[in-house]
Structure 1
Amino acid sequence: MLTNKKTLLALSVVSALTLTACGSDNDDNVVVTPPTPPVVVVPETPAALSFTVSGNVVNSTSGAPIEVTKLTFLEGDVASTDIVDINGKAITELATTDGSYTFTLKDGADVTTLTVLVSAEGYISKSFALDLTDKSVSVAADLSLVSATSGNGVVAATEKAAVSAGQVATEVAVTATQAGANTNVTVPAGTTLQDENGNAVSGTEVSLNVATAATTASATTAGIGDIIPAGLNSGTSTSVRQPLAAANIEMLDNAGNKIKKFSSPITLTLSVPESAGVTTGDTLKVSSYDEDKAKWTLDEFTATVGAFDAASKTYAASFQTSHLTLFTSTKEEPACTSGINFNVTGANASELVFHVFSSDGYVIRNATGAAVSSSSRNNLKADATARVLAFDAASLNVVFDSQTEVPVCGTVDVAVTAAPVTTVNENFAVTAVCSNDTTKTTALSGAIVKYRLPNRGFEQASEPTAGTYALTGLVEGSSYQVRVVPRGLGAGVGATDFTITANGTDESGSINIACNTTTGGN
């Protein structure tokens, strides 16, 4: 009997343990299933963009990035509806904080020429025409702006005046003067200052600002070709408007509002160089540019050529206007129909950057490849001459200089004799790591990856394989900033910077992201 009692006790204990293990928490034996631990899910990263437009906004004479800028996109003179940012959001403008930009086109967009209006505080706004005809390759373009203050070829002047009920009580006159470039603006006493809609401005004071440059530019000094926006000439015309003088004129009230019109005409005088071949009494056509619409009003006025100034070797060309903007006086010349083609020997043309400066007021900066596109040659006359410089794209060292002006309508021989710097290529692999479970990782595909030397503009890397980006043309031994901008991972995942040394060895970096979680399954 004792044995039987022990057996029964053992069975009772086992039964009790079994019930407890099954989760019984009441007398009704209800089973409660414990919750499944959350599972961290690696995000799906997007494919690389098949086509992008990228580059930098730079100072025209130093080449340094202008960090805070705004790009406005237009087709004709209306806002483009075909531009999207890197995440596919439709945009009509893009702000930068480091001077670099990247955008693309919406699906199915058939844009061949895009006008980009670029503005920055302290610089003269300018529009650029980008050729987007070939969408099989991405477009890279650096956009150069000229400082609105005196220096590096630009001369600027400002005059302030009191205003009452929108009128100036006394004459307001300002003159910007330097060798080969003079501009005078005179606003008569009693003139009513108006906004774009013709309303008299408020405020008690206005400032009249003038900026101009000489006809001839150089690698380190700006000329009028740097100031004049795209569109002064069409690419199919048999003649071109050769710019002889240009000035950007702006008037602001003390609240920063632009004065756009006047109740009666004001007088402007631009200096025209002796080399233009004009004489006293000649008439020149004047065109004006509306920076808000990136639109030229061509041959709007006629300027009369006045007396010759022997000291400055210029003529004064005067006209009247009832509005303010950028003006240029022009002379019609037969057009160059072939564009500029560089016959490069001693180097690979794709590794060079070309600058072209003409005493005729024609400027090209940051041209790449062996030819200059039609959008860049539009101001070129048939007998144009210019000084041509070629720079090593990696180091920006000068590797060719024509020294004097040579004919540039057609083929220009570029014999590179200077040894370029040693360059290397590297791949940079980027991994996304879940910050809430570092064992979960994935190759970060579809990002925008850019790289640059200190105080230089960014270059955009290609993505030959998912999550691996090709950094090409690195100056051996130099330190580079690599910026990774993820796409498609939410607004909270921003840019991450890395520093590498160019030595030809592939490198990598990781970016922490907060991954989503789910329940059940891996």
Structure 2
Amino acid sequence: MLANKKSLLAVSIAASFALTGCFSDNDNNVVVEPETPTPTEIVVPDTLVTEQPSKVFSVNVVNRANSDVLEGATVSFLVDGEAATNLTDVNNEDLSMVTVDETGNFTFLSKEGASGEVTALVSAEGYISKSFVVDLSAELDEGEIDIPLEFGLVSVETTGVKVETKKATVESGTTAEAVTATAEEGTAGSSVTVPANTVFQNADGEAITGTEVTMNVVAADSSNEETGAIIPDGLNSESTTQVLKPLGVTSITMSDETGAKIKNFSSPISVTVDLPANSAVEPNQELAISSHDEVTGTWTQETITATVGEANEDGTFPATFSTDHLTFFSLNKNVPVCDKGITVKVVDGTLPATGLAVAMTSPDGSISTYLRSDTKLVISPASTARFGISQDAVAKVRVYDRAGNDWYVQTNQSICGNVEVDLDGPDTTIIEKNITLNGVCAADATKTANLSGSIVTYAKNGKAASLAQALGNSTFKLSGLEVGGNYKVRATIRGAKVDGGGQSKTFEFEDVQDDGNALTGTVELECNEVPVTGTN
């Protein structure tokens, strides 16, 4: 009986401990409730921009000859030789350098209050680098929000242009023997000679550390109208009543195997440029020289001059000068300025709804613009000097669409004053279509987003792009489509990232037809997961 009582007592104590372990907080005075998860939901980022910007610059980087996009090209924006600080991308992130994607197009904004000009240095493998001047104060066409820009580069395979590469061995940055590199083809000719015992130096005047120098020489036939397309913008930025007319140009660059650019020399080197037979020059004539720095994008008037020599067998004239630095050189003479400006007028034919690009190219330089009405003042009379337009300027005038189709081409056309064109488009059926962007959260497709503020561009595959017109309700109009064409559409979302990172989504549409059907594209966004408030 005693044993049974003890057993019951032990059972009672054990049960007590067991119950205490389940419900006590170890102080035997507070009950611990099971943890309840906080409810969350997926919400669209409140930073998403749903309104279009008031003014956007839309840039196409293309092969100037056929409007093929140049994927991988680099564009650096400079102001007074320094990286620009007055530009942003369409999401207000600072922008001073761009590597062009497969669309060949990018867009940017100028910061509030920004004005004046920026210089764009553009380079692509297999093409001659060039700088372009962009006017941030350019005015919009009526009813538009974009300033269309084309950075067209000339291929090294272009007729009238020759590029030659030569390598030289150096020790302690010095060449033991004289080195000459020459580029010549037809009547295009340019050469550089570096004397023996010359030290190759960087921009700071320090001897290079590499042991092999690569020399690149560009020669251009200055009687060929395409030559002007390689001359960097801004040659005549300081001109007034007279302008500089280039008679001969050359670009000479050097670097060592470490990638260091060679800019200076311990003693002068010799450069010779062939001038066209019709240059109206004479032996022993002195020509002014302007130089353009491909790093800073600035032009400088050299204190040295080039001396014209006796005519070559082909009738061209060699002009020689000595220099202690490398750059793009232009040998010039002064001519009277055009005082009428330049106005393009459509006198026959119909301008398509999307407008047309216009390129004017001469041995003196090049001008690009975009035509959206039958008459456009391209350069005002007050600005023709800074653009280098002479009173007797003639050029090849080409009017073409974004797909590279020619609508008008005329060589040796006078461009001082009115430039009259008659349009004859390609034999294709042109239509327009709308595209609606369906914005949804990647983590919850029931959460939709208003993408009306997106920047949408579209292009026939491999060609220059156009900016789509925003219609509201995440819908955009694509004008000027060719029936049967394949098109690439890129939507840049403002204020939110697409799923996987980045802010752009690209869609491809093949064999576009005039079937009355709108296009659609779904954009999955990275949305926020936030706690649900006000719950019990």
8 Å Cα contact 1:217/1:357 also seen in 2: no
Unaligned runs of 5+ in 1: 1-23
Aligned with residue 102 of structure 1, among 88, 91, 107? 107
Give 1:399's aligned residue: 407
Aligned with residue 172 of structure 1, among 175, 179, 186? 179
Q: CA deviation at 1:57?
A: 1.2
Give 1:246's aligned residue: 249
- Tell me the distance in 1 between the aligned counterparts of 2:438 and 2:199: 63
Give 1:388's aligned residue: 397
Q: Write the mapping of 1:444-463 to structure 2, written as runs, cut at 5 A.
A: 444-463=451-470
Counterpart amino acid of 2:261?
Answer: K
Name the % identity.
Answer: 35
Q: CA deviation at 1:158?
A: 1.7
- Tell me the distance in 1 between the aligned counterparts of 2:302 and 2:340: 25
- The answer to whether 1:373 aligns with 2:415 is no
Q: CA deviation at 1:420?
A: 6.0
Q: CA deviation at 1:110?
A: 2.7
Q: In 2 relative to 1, CA 230–134 (structure 1 residues): closer, same or farther, beyond 3 Å? A: closer
TM-score using structure 1 length? 0.86
Give 1:256's aligned residue: 259
- Tell me the distance in 1 between the aligned counterparts of 2:60 and 2:403: 17
What are the Cα deviations for residues 228-281 of structure 1, in whole angstroms up to 9, with x where unaligned? Answer: 111100276111100111111011112121111111101100011122211111
- Tell me the distance in 2 between the aligned counterparts of 1:187 and 1:33: 81
Q: In 2 relative to 1, CA 204–33 (structure 1 residues): closer, same or farther, beyond 3 Å? A: closer
Provide the aligned C-alpha RMSD in A.
2.7
Q: Write the mapping of 1:221-240 to structure 2, written as runs, cut at 5 A.
A: 223-234=226-237, 237-240=240-243
Of 268-277 and 124-133, deviating more is 124-133
Of 80-89 and 284-293, deviating more is 80-89
TM-score using structure 2 length? 0.84
Q: In 2 relative to 1, CA 303–493 (structure 1 residues): closer, same or farther, beyond 3 Å? A: closer
What are the Cα deviations for residues 138-161 of structure 1, in whole angstroms up to 9, with x where unaligned? Answer: 2110101233x4444320112211
Q: Provide the secondary structure at the position in 1 that maps to 2:122.
A: strand
8 Å Cα contact 1:246/1:326 also seen in 2: yes
Unaligned runs of 5+ in 2: 1-21
Q: Write the mapping of 1:112-511 to structure 2, written as runs, cut at 5 A.
A: 112-134=116-138, 137-147=145-155, 149-217=156-224, 223-234=226-237, 237-311=240-314, 313-349=315-351, 351-358=355-362, 360-365=363-368, 367-369=370-372, 370-373=376-379, 378-391=387-400, 393=401, 395-402=403-410, 404-417=411-424, 421-490=428-497, 492-500=501-509, 501-503=512-514, 505-511=517-523
What are the Cα deviations for residues 367-397 of structure 1, in whole angstroms up to 9, with x where unaligned? Answer: 5353423678712211112232322x25533
Q: In 2 relative to 1, CA 515–309 (structure 1 residues): closer, same or farther, beyond 3 Å? A: same
Q: In 2 relative to 1, CA 126–401 (structure 1 residues): closer, same or farther, beyond 3 Å? A: closer
What are the Cα deviations for residues 152-193 of structure 1, in whole angstroms up to 9, with x where unaligned? Answer: 432011221111111101110011111221001100111111
Q: In 2 relative to 1, CA 32–224 (structure 1 residues): closer, same or farther, beyond 3 Å? A: same
Q: In 2 relative to 1, CA 415–78 (structure 1 residues): closer, same or farther, beyond 3 Å? A: same
Q: CA deviation at 1:493?
A: 4.3
Give 1:59's aligned residue: 63
Q: In 2 relative to 1, CA 170–34 (structure 1 residues): closer, same or farther, beyond 3 Å? A: closer
8 Å Cα contact 1:217/1:363 also seen in 2: no
Q: CA deviation at 1:315?
A: 0.3
8 Å Cα contact 1:159/1:172 also seen in 2: no
- Tell me the distance in 1 between the aligned counterparts of 2:303 and 2:370: 31
Q: In 2 relative to 1, CA 395–41 (structure 1 residues): closer, same or farther, beyond 3 Å? A: closer
Q: CA deviation at 1:42?
A: 2.9
- Tell me the distance in 1 between the aligned counterparts of 2:340 and 2:311: 35
8 Å Cα contact 1:395/1:421 also seen in 2: no
- Tell me the distance in 2 between the aligned counterparts of 1:153 and 1:142: 22
Q: CA deviation at 1:451?
A: 0.8
- Tell me the distance in 2 between the aligned counterparts of 1:161 and 1:30: 83
Counterpart amino acid of 1:481?
Answer: K
- Tell me the distance in 2 between the aligned counterparts of 1:34 and 1:126: 64
- Tell me the distance in 2 between the aligned counterparts of 1:30 and 1:407: 92
Q: Provide the secondary structure at the position in 2 that maps to 1:275.
A: coil
- Tell me the distance in 2 between the aligned counterparts of 1:40 and 1:159: 61
Q: Provide the secondary structure at the position in 2 that maps to 1:308.
A: coil
Q: CA deviation at 1:196?
A: 0.7
- Tell me the distance in 2 between the aligned counterparts of 1:412 and 1:515: 53
Q: Provide the secondary structure at the position in 2 that maps to 1:165.
A: coil
- Tell me the distance in 2 between the aligned counterparts of 1:468 and 1:396: 27
Give 1:8's aligned residue: none
Q: CA deviation at 1:417?
A: 4.6
- Tell me the distance in 2 between the aligned counterparts of 1:455 and 1:430: 23
